[in-house]
Chains A and B, each alone.
Chain A
Amino acid sequence: MASAFGHFGRRSIQFTGFRRILHYDPCNIVQRSTSEIRSFHLNRNVDASIPVAMPALSPTMTEGTIVKWHKKEGDPISPGDMLCDIQTDKAVITFDIEEEGILAKILKAENSKNVKIGSMIAVMVEEGEDWQNAEIPESSESSSEASTSSEPSSAPSAGEPTARIRMSPAARKMMEEYNISSPQTVPATGPHGMVNKGDVLKYIQTQHLTKIDLRKAAQVPPSPQKSTPTTPSTPTSSPVTRVPPSITVSPEGGYQDIETTNMRRVIAKRLTESKTMIPHSYVSIECKVDAAMKLRKKFIASGTKISMNDIIVKAAGYSLQRVQKVNSHWSGDSIQIQPTVDISVAVATDSGLITPIVRNAAELSLSQISSTTKALAVKARDGKLQPQEFQGGSFTISNLGMFGIGEFSAIINPPQTAVLAVGTSVLKPSAEGKPCSYLTVKMSYDSRAIDETEASQFLEKFQQVMENPSLLMV
């Protein structure tokens, strides 16, 4: 008597006091029935631990994240208890468990992501068993998966003795191309035993097959990484190597997928926004830059290294001070003329084009502009720019002179209203017949904020000061 009741008695001690009705139980039998808990879909041995598998809590769920466990190891579990919260493809749903026992081990901790349906997430043991030393049943997921995948393929063949191998049209084509003579050898993972294109691709990779048709010869080797619109770098700064984003070459050849970085995506978004929302208009002018080049040489001779770009920046700053309309922001309704001239200088980095700002460019000396620009360019290439160093600005200059580009148009950087695209200097005969260096600049401006006259006035001033750089000393 004692031994039989002892088993029950122990459990009643565990739960007495939980519900008052238990106190009236004359046979001291707890209301919980003894049952051997089974979890059918993972192999189990009688008297061994019971595996708990990841449930599909919504019909479209294939994997989920375990958000929170409501039970700790060693907690008793009764049918209907909350076991854990699972993030499905739709919402966070609580997984109620219908089994009874003790939670022995939690195999997937909180915040485990991408747990596949059917994989083991915990182990339970029956009440009274030693949960601390519970053995983890060998996960026969691979075997059960293999068996489930073979079941659907065996099911139709069991019904129809002469079942064809089902394959998708793409898979069939690939098999022909790669000369896979016996389709049965390709392991199928599609529904009802269908061979997918992915299955054939995997088979090709593992078997190292090669195509048998002529297209193989025409496979283009992967081209170099830089696909950013090339932008100026100051001649004296050295590019810092950065890890380029990965390229995947598809085995069929002919095209490459370049993974986009976050920066590229942001650039793409902003450029699209700008080009579609802002009515761009263009004016260009040619400047004789001999005087400027002579000035530069003089500076270099006296020890200060400045570049053509620095002179251009200063010239633009000077002009912006005089044609203030161009130094503005478009705020949707009104034109905000900026108090200072902050010029964004376009710098090319491995991950994309970024525009650090030379603040108060009109008041800085040429050497100051030079050192600021250089420092900013280095920071930009190292990815160490602070937000205030590249956000803001009232005007942008983009220089492709070092690539030999004669003339190009740039895209405005909103909320700015204009951008100046600077080309290279070309030797051309002047009106008098002498060979002179001419530099073409083209300004893209926001027609909502700036009209043709103002734009032209700006460029006129710019040309004036580029051809007479002594004006910059004022």
Chain B
Amino acid sequence: MFSLTLRQISRNSFVGANVSAFNVSKYSTVPEATLDIQKCTLHKLEHGPPTQATVTREDAIRFYWDMRTVRRMETMAGNLYKAKQIRGFCHLYSGQEACCVGMEAAITRDDAVITAYRAHGWTYVRGISVLGVLAELTGRASGCAKGKGGSMHMYTKNFYGGNGIVGAQVPLGAGIAFGLKYENKPNICVTLYGDGAANQGQLFEAYNMAKLWNLPCVFVCENNGYGMGTSVERASASTDYYSRGDYIPGMRIDGMDVLAVREATKFAREYALNNGPILIEAATYRYHGHSMSDPGTSYRAREEIKEMRETRDPITVFRRKILECNLVTPEELKKVDIEVDKEIDKAADQAKKDPEIPLGELYNNIYIHPDPDYTVRGCDPSIRVISH
């Protein structure tokens, strides 16, 4: 029998979690298990990631915790939006949790990540607390960008956002990888984009430069089947996004299986550090519409969404698998559920109540490390304020 504290399990520290040690219940659980993964389709690669993955008990609970957090956080964001607490853009990640959780498990905090606007899940796994995300969405001072950025502009160390322009982040990602190589760091840059951005021209320019200079860049296409409202068949001449890198080797993986994503990313990281860029296409699915203004049902059947929820939902499938293998017990998972819900409810309450930043903040964060007496002009020439 062994006990485990949830604090050790979850990577993110959270305030106020009164977690008592788990006791192994009537069922004995195993410390680790090996699960099968779907074989990947490969492009210009001799061997792909392994078809089996070993997962420890701690990792299993951690993945489950993180995925549930992302799911619940996105649901909460949707509810807040419907209550008009969040305004503007809000693109939800529900259904794609396995991508961010799986990939984060395979990289380190020193590796860089850059993604597009569907970034709340990534912001969380990269280290920002749920409060930091929700308060940023509601525009309060406790948000990760002090409420100045909102949904599409969340950043943290080695997480470059949060980018509104479709496909603009891919050349930036190649650039970050260039910087890492330039400074001889043993790190990669994971550059994510969607199936809608996959046809943008600048991506191919980025592929060229990455391959030419062998940059440690892992390009990831999160293919959720729809670019806004256009299905991939109607948008792309070639829907084999993993082969679109042409001279860049690629693979298509099951983006709804967190372990498959982890293994593929581990493989890709290894490859990128030694051989240059590689492309992963993660076949995934989003349940909500493109953004909160899109109901998501005018270009796809409700039955399709329902079917995906029932047969391929990353959380429920993973849950079933780890319960089957006795890695965890149902009570433990229920406890996780309760804790996650409690944490997010608390964060949401706080995100609604926290104050906004004062008006003086308007003039700050314009320059990095400005001189102490550096002033910035306001809307009127007579206004000059010291900028910090």
Contacts and interface: CB of A to CB of B under 8 A. Distances in A.
Q: Are the chains A and B members of one assembly?
A: yes
A97 to B, nearest CB: 10
A26 interface: yes
Interface in A135-151: 151
A26 B324 contact: yes
B309 A78 contact: yes
Contacts of A117: 83-84
Of A1, A33, A57, A79, chain B has the most CB atoms within 10 Å of the CB of A33
A282 interface: no
Interface in B331-388: 331, 333-334, 337-338, 341, 345, 348-349, 352-353, 355-359
Interface in A58-111: 58-59, 78-80, 82, 93-94, 96, 98
Interface in B73-117: 75-76, 78-85, 87, 94
B341 A159 contact: no
B341 A82 contact: no
A56 B87 CA distance: 11
B310 A19 contact: yes
A159 B75 contact: no
B305 interface: yes
A53 B295 contact: no
B28 interface: no
Interface string B309-345: 1110101110110011000001101100110010001
Q: What range describes how many residues of B lie at the interface?
A: 35 or more
Interface in B216-268: none
A56 B76 CA distance: 14
Contacts of A25: 320
A472 interface: no
A38 interface: yes
Contacts of B83: 41, 53, 55-56, 117-118
B318 to A, nearest CB: 10
B331 A31 contact: no
A99 to B, nearest CB: 8
A213 interface: no
A93 B295 contact: yes
Contacts of A82: 302
B337 A36 contact: yes
A40 B334 contact: no
Nearest to B356: A155
Given A33-B315, A41-B79, A59 B297 contact: no
Contacts of B320: 25, 27, 29, 31
A94 B94 CA distance: 19
Q: What range describes how many residues of A lie at the interface?
A: 35 or more
A200 B83 CA distance: 28
A238 to B, nearest CB: 58
Interface in A318-345: none
B124 interface: no
Of A4, A27, A80, chain B has the most CB atoms within 10 Å of the CB of A80
A55 B313 CA distance: 25
B316 A33 contact: yes
A159 B324 CA distance: 53
A236 to B, nearest CB: 64
Contacts of B47: none
A98 B78 contact: yes
B287 interface: yes
B293 interface: yes
A93 B294 CA distance: 10
Contacts of A32: 316
B357 A159 contact: yes
Nearest to B317: A31
B300 interface: no
A21 B310 CA distance: 9
A4 B25 CA distance: 11
Contacts of A94: 295, 297
Contacts of A257: none
Contacts of B79: 39-41, 55, 98
A8 interface: yes
B341 A40 contact: no
A158 B76 CA distance: 26
Contacts of A4: 26, 330-331
Contact of A41 (B94, B287, B317, B352): B352
B11 interface: no
B306 interface: yes
Given A56-B83, A118-B83, A40 B345 contact: yes
A193 to B, nearest CB: 12
A80 B287 contact: yes
A311 B232 CA distance: 83
A41 B85 contact: yes
B353 A29 contact: no
Given A32-B316, A41-B352, 18 more contacts: A1-B26, A21-B311, A27-B320, A27-B324, A31-B317, A36-B341, A40-B352, A41-B79, A55-B79, A79-B75, A80-B287, A80-B305, A82-B302, A94-B297, A118-B83, A151-B352, A156-B356, A159-B358
28 contacts: A4-B26, A8-B330, A18-B310, A19-B310, A21-B311, A25-B320, A26-B324, A31-B313, A31-B316, A31-B320, A32-B316, A33-B333, A34-B337, A35-B337, A38-B341, A38-B345, A41-B79, A55-B82, A56-B83, A56-B84, A59-B84, A96-B295, A98-B79, A117-B84, A155-B355, A155-B356, A159-B357, A159-B358
The 10 closest A-B pairs by CB, nearest first: A159-B358, A55-B82, A31-B316, A98-B75, A158-B355, A40-B348, A56-B84, A155-B355, A35-B337, A41-B83
Interface of A: 1, 4, 8, 18-19, 21, 25-27, 29, 31-36, 38-41, 53, 55-59, 78-80, 82, 93-94, 96, 98, 117-118, 151, 154-156, 158-160
Interface of B: 26, 68, 72, 75-76, 78-85, 87, 94, 287, 293, 295, 297, 302, 305-306, 309-311, 313, 315-317, 319-320, 323-324, 330-331, 333-334, 337-338, 341, 345, 348-349, 352-353, 355-359
